[in-house]
Amino acid sequence: MVMVLFRVTVKEGCMEDYRALSQALREHLKEQPGFLRSEGFVSGTDPNTLLGINYWENEDFVAQWRNRLEHRRCQQRGREALFQDYRVTVAQVLRSYTEEDRTQAPDDSKEYFH
C-alpha cells in the first residue's frame, strides 16, 4: 500500500474555492483504479492548513492518478491561485493493523496485547 500525503496552506480568502476544487477531485478519485480511500484533516493551529491522505494499492496507480487530466488541471489551478504553500509526501506502508486485525502488528505488540 502507498500513501500520498498532501499538506496545503490555502491563501487567505480562498478556502471555499479550494474546498470546491477538492470535492470535484474526490468524485474522480472514486472511479480511479487502485484508489483505496481518502482522509482529510484541518490543522489544530492554523485553519488554513489542511492534510489530505490518499491510500493506493501501489505506486503505478498513483502515477496514473497524478497524470490524469482532471487532476493536472486542478493542480494548476491550485498552484496559480489557491495555494500559499504545499508539500506532497509519498510513503510506502510498512505495516497496518487494527485492534481487530493484528496480522501485521509487531511481534512484541502481539505478545503484550494478546
How far is 53 from 89, CA to CA, in rounded Å?
10
Tally: H helices and E strands in the chain: 4, 4
Global pTM value: 0.86
Taking the domains of the chain in order of start, what are their residue ranges?
2-95
Residues in Cβ contact with 24 at an 8 Å cutoff, skipping those fewer than 6 apart? 70, 74
Angle between helices 15-29 and 69-77 (to 10 degrees): 170
| Architecture field, domain 2-95 | 2-Layer Sandwich (3.30)
pLDDT in tens, 68-101: 999 999 999 999 999 999 999 999 999 999 999 9
Q: What is the SS3 assignment for 101? A: coil
